[in-house]
Every structure is written in C-alpha cells, then in structure tokens.
A and B are shown apart, each in its own frame.
Chain A
Amino acid sequence: MRFVFKTRYEQDLRLWRHNGDLIGYGIFLAALLALPMFAGVYYVGEANLWLIYAIAAMGLMIAVGFTGMVSLGHSAFLGIGAYTHAYLLQNGVPFVFSLPLGGLLAGAIGVAVGLPTLRMHGIYLAIATLAVALITQEIMSKWSSVTGGFDGLPVAAPDFLSIQTEAMYQGEWFSVGGLHVGWVELWSPVSLYYICIVVLILAALIARNLLRSPTGRAFVAIRDSEISAQSMGVHLAHYKTTAFGISAFVTGLAGGLFAHQISHLAPDAFNIFISIELLLICVVGGIGTIQGAVLGAAFLILLRSFIPIVRDEVTAGAGGVEFLAGLVRFVNSPGLEAAIFGALLVLFIVFEPMGLYGRWLKTKTYFDLFPLYKKSTFARQKSYVKTERLR
C-alpha cells in the first residue's frame, strides 16, 4: 500500500507518478521486447496489429480523450499516413523521413479540416470528419496515378533493412505479396514489431509530455469546460486546432506502420469502420488515458481473433442440431462483428465510462484502501446542459 502525497508542484510535472510506476512500465516493456522469442510469427503479426492500433488510438485519444472532440475521420488520417509513406518509400525516400512525412501530411490535413470546423459546436467536427473520411476514401480510389486506385499500392520494405541484402542479392527484384523475396531474412513481422515498439514509445512520450505541458493542460481544460477554459485565457480555436493536428499526426504515423502490416494498400482498408474501431478502443480502454489506448487495442485485437474461433466452434458443434439452427444463423450472419463492437461501445459508455484502465484503477484503489473504499470516489459529477444556441 502506498500513499502518494502531493507536496511539491513538480510532482504534477513528472513523467511518472512514483518509482513504483516506473518498475511496472519497465516490466511491461521488457515483456514486449521479449515476446518474439516466445511467440510464433503469427502471434507477432497479431501483436503488430495491436501496437499499430494502440498508436493510432493514442492519436485519437489526444482529440477525443484529452480535448473532448469526437472525430469520425481518423480512418482517413490513418490512410493518408499509409499512402504517403508507401508512395514516398516507393520513390526512394528513406524510411526515417517518409514515416514522419506521412504523419505530417495527415496532421496538415487535420489542421485544414479543423480550421473551419473547430470554431463551431463539437457536433460539427464529427460531421465534417465523417465527410472527410468518405471523401478521402473516394480520392484514394480515384487518384490512381499516386494511389494505384482499386488495384492498390504495394508497400516496399524499409530501406535500412534492405541495404545489406542488396549486396548479397544480385538477381532481379521480385516480390511476393508485397514482401521482397530478397529481403525476407531481414524484413519480417519481427522487425516490424520492434519498429512498432519504438514508435509506440515515442507516441506515448508525445502524449504524456503534451499532458504535462501548458498546451496539454489547455486541452484538458477545453474538454472539461470550454467556457471556463476561454475565460482563463485559452484561445479555443487555436488550441483545438493544435490538438486535432497533433492527433492526426500521431494517427498518420500509425498509418505508415499499418501500410507495412497489410503490405498492400487498397482504399477499402481505410473505411469508416476503422474510425469506429479506434473510437471503441478509446472508450473501452478508458477515455483520456494513455494506458487506455494500449489496453483497448489489446481488447479489440483479442476480440477480433476470438469471434471467428467461436463462430467455427458453434457452426461445427451445433451445425446438425435442429433447435440450434437459429444460433448457427446468428453467428454466421453478416455484420455480427460490427454489432458486437457497437453493443460493447454502448455497454462501456453506460456502465463503465472510465473503461478498462478505470476498472484497473478502481480495483487497485479498492485494495489500497481496504476496507474503506467508497464507490463515490470515482463517481461522475452530473452536469446539466444549457443550450448553445441562445438567440
């Protein structure tokens, strides 16, 4: 049991709350780094997806969780990051430049979207980003000189992993499923995995450092009350645009990694459902927490891989039974996955608004304070709505 008393203002500015946290994160990082030694390539691939979603959701968290702006367009920023990165890589730009450039372009477009809409009521942003997501997807399929249209865009392996093999491999370049055969030794899901870890740590540091800077504090103030923030001298439009730009930038970074993960880009990979998945991650993980993005992404990936397993089991087990025919039809209906995600979204918002990370905090507090834990410690304050359109 540990009490952390706030005795100095610097405590609020520290990267971690106390040294115990540092040990916890250290163990987590060590486990992450050691994972490829124990898990097979398939599981590393799934872990890649987890890390990429976590990074993308961390980007979305800056908008949704820290600043309270709903964006339905982060699939577009993911896509912009992915296409930019893949295009630049194909044209000989080094990996270390093309990945941030993809993020920067996504961020710039985020700012461009944010500038007109963020002066308005929050709902406008949701609608505008929805429109941007749909337009971006159309552009991806129509601008075929850059994006390859519906044929898609193959993603080259990172250049720094191919330098050594270029000398060894003298024959024609040829590729299988986007992976260049000559590079197979160095370029594997495992190398992508380590790149993802590096980017995840960077993204977490961006988010955490943002939160302890005046800028991040302004974001949180805007989330909690726009009017109070404004009266404390926070320039709403400026800070909201900044937040949205940074958010799009981080998600764009994740897009670059996502391009490598799926190895062949097509417009369908960046549909609106990706935005919903990212929102689900934020809600399930815990709105407004960096850890929540990682937890929520793990939850989503696990769920996504369990649904087909359950479906196959049920179909195999109950396939011939007459009265279970409805159940078999149920698990095989199209849209089941989306419906489960939707239902979870509702259930978490209604019953566990602080998400998985909030549940973890509550459990920890329960044991810390045993037997004096009060439910009201985490109770939400009710707020009553006044209209924003007084005439």
Chain B
Amino acid sequence: MDSVQIYISLFVNGLALGCIYGLIALGFVLIYKATEMVNFAQGDLMMVGAFIAFGLIAGFGLNFWLGFLLTIVLMIIFGFLLDVVVIRRLIGQPQFSIVMATIGIGYVLRFVMPYAFNVEQIAFLTPFTGKAVQVAAMTLDAGKLAAVVGTLVLCAGLYTFFQRTRIGMAMQAASQNQLAAYYMGIPVALIFSLIWGISAGVAAITGVMMMPIANVMDPSIGFIAIKAFAGAVVGGFGSIPGALVGGIIIGLVEQFSDYLLAPGYKDIMVFSVLLAVMVVRPEGIFSQMGRKKV
C-alpha cells in the first residue's frame, strides 16, 4: 500500500473512532446542556448498552435490528430510573457531589454488568461485522462507515430536537434557570429524568455501533469516555456540534499519532491536545461560555 492510501485509511479509522468519542461526548453534553450536571458514568452507560445488546442478540438470539431497538428502549428506561432513584436527590447540592456520585455509579456498573451476564468479554455479530464497502479505489470497513453515518443522523436529529420542539426548548430553559423554568410551568424534575433517558439511549446506540469497530468489549471499555471528555472540551463543553467535532479531532489525533509516533505515545498526545486547548482556547471551538449573572 502506498502512503496516500495509508493516510486515507488512517483518516477513516480516526473519523470512525472520533464519531464514537463524539457520541459519548454527545451523551454527557446533552445532560450538561439540560441539567448543568456532568455525567462521569457516560462511558459505563455505553458499556451497559453494549452488554444488554449482547444479552438480547447473542443470548436470546434476537434479530439484530429488533435487539438494537429493544436495547435503546431498555436503556432509556434505565437512564430515566437512574435519575429518579439517585441523581434527582442531588439537585441543589454542590457540583462535586454529582461528579463523585456518577463516578461511583460507573464503578458499580462496571462490576454489576459482567457479574449479571457472567462473562468477562462480550462480542456479537452485527450486519456490518467484517463487511467491506468499495468506494472508488478504496476498500472501507462497513462498521466504520456505519458509525460515521449513524453519528451524523443522530446528531442532526438531536440538534433539531433541541432547537425546534417544545420539549427541547423546555430542556434548554430548565438548564438556564431551574427556578424560572419551574415558574413557567415546566415540570423540571420530569424534564431532567427525560434527558437522562435520552442520554442513556444515545449511550446504547454508541455501545452497539462500537461493536463492529472494537470486535471484543470488556467492562473497562467505559474508560474511553475520558477521551470523549477531551473531545467535548476541545469542541466547547455544552455544544452539540462541538462535541462531535471535538470527538473527531481527538479520534484523528489518536490514529495519526499512533502511526507517526513511537508506540504508547498516542494517549499522551490526546491529553496534551486537551491541555493545550485548555491553555490556548479554554472555551473550545464552539464557545458556550459567558459570564454568569448574579
């Protein structure tokens, strides 16, 4: 293979990986946008989604698309309940409580899922596993293309949801001022639970889309959320297009530094980019920051 083709395939790999990061980032940006809370368990929610899909598709032998849909529904319920049972009690507490609580939830999930399914690693077949698509002179992996396309569709849908629908607007209002939103007749608590449900649904989609890319997943896959955080910060925390663009940048940086630098330096590069962005342009590419008013 000549070097152009190597770079193109690196680019596609980075794009696909970046879309996964972008989707995880999207998950917590949704929660952040609506509730001003940051969910450090987003990666673990993705892992839970993948495990449930594994149970349904590989365990019960359901059709892939049916299992996929059912996983999303189950995860939406799970996210909703997570908010009702735990997170809702933390409204009004200092921000570090929610950070620590979600970290704790992440550790619990990372233990519970492999225990419940009695497996250390999961793998299931998707329609994209091992398939390839011929584009011009290039052979591209179908799973990666599916990740890219799926991400774009999902992002467009969510963006429209927040900008155009009543519930989406209510979510933005609840985010900007809980009390004022409540006075306007918005059921703030219900809205928050809904947004956790949606975010968990996005996590489920991410988990299933990750499968053909990762081939095998174990419970610690949730740690890739750290890179998604980097993506969200690079893109500008709290911005949906920012999460996507930031995630893709991080994915590309990771793939290219993996190829161009000595082995083992890709993580250092990713986090160096994160710290550099924080120094140079702390508000990220798509700035959402302003001054808080008293």
Residues of A within 8 A of B (CB): 64, 68-70, 72, 116-117, 119-124, 126-128, 130-132, 134-135, 138-139, 142, 223, 226-227, 231, 276, 279, 283, 287, 329-330, 333-336, 338-339, 341-346, 349-350, 353, 380, 382-391
Contacts and interface: CB of A to CB of B under 8 A. Distances in A.
A128 B278 contact: yes
B174 to A, nearest CB: 9
B268 A227 contact: no
Main secondary structure of the interface of B (DSSP, over half): helix
Given A70-B99, A279-B100, A335 B219 contact: yes
A70 B101 CA distance: 12
B264 A124 contact: no
B90 A350 contact: yes
A299 B129 CA distance: 48
Contacts of A387: 36, 175-177, 292
Interface stretch (B13-21, B132-140, B159-167, B269-277): B269-277
A134 B267 contact: yes
Interface residues of B, number: 60
B179 A384 contact: yes
B101 A339 contact: no
Given A338-B111, A386-B176, 5 more contacts: A134-B267, A227-B292, A335-B114, A385-B92, A390-B292
B230 interface: yes
A352 B105 CA distance: 17
B121 interface: no
Contacts of A72: 103
17 contacts: A70-B95, A124-B233, A134-B271, A138-B264, A138-B267, A231-B294, A336-B111, A339-B110, A345-B101, A345-B103, A346-B104, A350-B90, A380-B92, A385-B91, A386-B178, A389-B290, A390-B291
Interface of B: 32, 35-36, 38, 40, 86, 89-97, 99-101, 103-108, 110-112, 114-115, 118, 175-179, 219, 226, 229-230, 233, 237-238, 264, 267-268, 271-272, 274-275, 278-279, 282-283, 288-294
B279 A391 contact: no
B110 A335 contact: yes
B104 A342 contact: yes
B104 A341 contact: yes
B115 A333 contact: yes
A213 to B, nearest CB: 23
Contact of B92 (A134, A336, A350, A382): A382
6 closest A-B pairs by beta carbon, nearest first, are A342-B107, A339-B111, A345-B104, A342-B104, A131-B271, A335-B111
Given A387-B177, A390-B292, A279 B103 contact: yes
A385 B101 contact: no
A343 B104 contact: yes
Nearest to B239: A389
A346 B104 CA distance: 6
